[in-house]
Amino acid sequence: MRYLPHTAEDRRAMLQVIGVDAVDDLFVDVPRVAVLDDLVDLPNHRGELAVDRALTAIAAKNTPAGSVPFFVGAGAYRHHVPAAVDHLIQRSEFLTAYTPYQPEISQGTLQVLFEFQTQVALLTGMEVANASMYDGATACAEAVLMANRVTRRRRTVLSGGLHPQYRSVVETQSKFLDGEIVAGAPDPQGDENLADLIDDDTACVVAQNPTFFGHLHDLRDLAAACHAKGALLVVAVAETVSLGAVTPPGAMGADIVVAEGQSLGNALNFGGPYLGLFAAREKFVRQMPGRLCGETVDIEGRRGYVLTLSTREQHIRREKATSNICTNSGLCSLAFTIHLSLLGEDGFKHLAELNHAGACETAETLAGIPGVEVLNGTFFNEFTVRLPKPAAEVVDTLATQGVLAGVPVSRLLPDAGLDDLLLVATTETTEADDITALGRALEGVLS
C-alpha cells in the first residue's frame, strides 16, 4: 500500500504492543463466510466517461420503485417526499453542519434537533426523545442495552413479531455482555403471549407495533405484565406513518420507544442512510444513548439552544458512555423534521388515513383471489397473505411482468418454514390501477 507511511518495522512494533502476531488476527471475529480469499473481481481502472457508461448499464438492470406497481415494505417504505424537503436540506447552514460542539455558532442545527426531539416525543407519546440515531434496528439494540442498565438485569424477551433484522442487531449487540436473549417464534398469526415469558430476571420485553407481519396490538396488558415483574416494555415501530392513526406506544405504557424514521423526508435510497428515533420516560433520561438538545436563555434573556446531555463516547470517557453511537444521522433527521412540519398534525393524520385505506382496498382485492388468504384481522398499511405457491417464486414471476408484489417472508426468515407467506405494503403512492394490476397478475400466476 504505497500511500501508507508505516514501515514493516513500524507495523511489527504496533502489533507487538497490541499483543497479536499479524494484522489478520485483528479480524478473527469476522465470520469466515464474509472474508474474501482474493481481490474483488472488478475491471482495471478506466476513464470517467467509460465508468459512467458501465455503471449506467448496471443501474438499468434495476426496476425503480416508482416505475411499476410497487408493494414492497418490510421495514422500508416508499412515500412521497415533497420537493421542498430536498431543497431546504441543501441550504448551506444545514448541509455543511456537523456536530454542534460550539453552540454559539451552531444555533440553527441545535434548534432543528430540538424541534426534531419535540416531534418524536409527540408522535410516540413519550416524555423525552434524543437527537436521533443510525436507524430503527440499532436504536432497538440500544434500547435493550439501556434497559439492562436501568434494571441491572440481563434477560431480554423478543417478540416473534419483531423485525428479523432488528432481532439480529439486538443479538449481535448483546453477544459479549453475558445477556440472555429469549426470542419468540415468528408470529404470522399475531397471537403470541409474551407475558408468559416474563420472569423476575427479565430486563425488558421488546414488541413491535405494527408487527413485522402487520398485526396491530393493544399493548396495555403487556406493559402491566412487564411492570409487575420490574421489567421495561420496549416498543419498536418500523413504519412511522402508522403513528398518525395508531395509539402511540407511550399511551399504552411503553417505557422506551424506538422507530425507523425513513418514512418521513427520506427516500428508499437502496437501503440507507436511514434514521433512528428513540424516546423514553423522563425518569430514565440519564441512561439514554446519544445526546439531547435543550432550550435555554443567554445572559441577555435571549432564547438559545445547547447540548443538554451528551452521554456518547465522542463527548465523554468511553467507560462512562451509554453508547458508542458516533453520529445522529443529522441530515436525515433534518429531512424528517421538515417533512413533518410541512404536513402538520392534520396532514400527518390524513397521510396515515390514505395509507390505511389503500391497504384495505388491496387486502380486499387479494382476498378475492382463489387460494389467497389474508392472515391479518387488523393492520395499518401492511399485511401478510398466504399463497398456494412459494412466495419467492411468485414475486420473481410477477417482477418479470412489471409488478413488484411485496417481500417474501422467506427472504428475511429463510429457515422458519414460512415460504408461502408474502408481505404486501401500500402507501399514499399506491394508485387504484396499481392494485388492479397486482390482483390480475397474481390471479394469473396462481391459476
161, with CB counted inside 10 A (0-12, 13-18, 19+), is buried
Please tell me the predicted confidence (pLDDT) of residue 327: 73
Q: Which of 391, 394, 396 is nearest to 420 (CA)?
A: 391
Residue linked to cell 502476531: 21
What secondary structure does DSSP assign to 239-308, as a single string?
-GGGGGTSPPGGGGT-SEEEEE-TTTT---GGG-S--EEEEE-GGGGGG-SSEEEEEEE-TTS-EEEEEE
Q: Is the pLDDT of residue 91 over 90?
A: no
Q: In the chain, what's the furthest Cα-to-Cα distance?
A: 75
**% of the chain with per-residue pLDDT over 70:** 97
Measured distance CA(275)–CA(291) in Å, rounded: 15
Whether the CA torsion 76, 79, 84, 86 is positive or negative: it is positive
H or E element, residue 207: strand 202-208
pLDDT at 2: 64
Amino acid identity, position 34: A
Please give the grid coordinates belonging to residue 240: 412511522
Domain boundaries, the chain: 65-81+343-446, 83-340
Is domain 65-81+343-446 classified as CATH 3.90.1640.10?
no
pLDDT digits (tens, 9 = 90+) for 55-66: 999 999 989 898
Average pLDDT of the segment spanning 6-27? 92
- Per-residue pLDDT, averaged over 292-298, amounts to 92
* Cis peptide leading into residue 248 (ω within 30°): no
- Mean pLDDT confidence for 80-103: 83
Checking DSSP bridges between strand 382-386 and strand 421-425, what pairing results, if any?
antiparallel
Q: What is the pLDDT of residues 191-232, one digit of tens each?
A: 999 999 999 999 999 999 999 999 999 999 999 999 999 999
First to last CA, the chain: 59
Give the H/E segment covering residue 129. strand 128-129
Out of 1.10.3720.10, 3.30.479.30, 3.60.20.10, 3.40.640.10, select the CATH number for domain 83-340: 3.40.640.10
Residue 434: predicted pLDDT: 98
How confident is the model over 235-286, as pLDDT tens digits? Answer: 999 999 999 999 999 999 999 999 999 999 999 998 889 999 999 999 999 9
pLDDT in tens, 351-390: 999 999 999 999 999 999 999 999 999 999 999 999 999 9
pLDDT at 39: 84
Q: Has residue 297 got a pLDDT over 60?
A: yes
The yes-or-no verdict on residue 1 having pLDDT over 60 is no
- How is 182-203 classified by DSSP, letter by letter? EEPPP-TTS---GGGG--TTEE
When pLDDT is cut at 50, 70 and 90, the band that residue 142 belongs to is very high
Look at residue 312 and tell me whether its pLDDT is greater than 70. no
The predicted structure's pLDDT at residue 315: 63
Residue in 284, 285, 222, 286 with CA at minimum distance from that of residue 254? 222
SS3 177: coil
CA distance 421 to 193: 22
Mean of per-residue pLDDT scores for the chain: 93
**Grid cell digits, residue 363:** 387486502
Over the range 291-316, which residues count as b (16 or more CB within 10 Å of their CB) and which as e? Answer: bbbeeeeeeeeeeebbbbbbbbbeee
How would you classify the pairing of strands 373-374 and 303-310? unpaired
Each residue's pLDDT tens digit, 144-187: 999 999 999 999 999 999 999 999 999 998 888 888 999 999 99
Q: Are 135 and 275 in contact (CB under 8 A)?
A: yes
Residue 203: the pLDDT is 98
- The residues facing 304 across adjacent strands are 296
Residue 188: its pLDDT value, please? 97
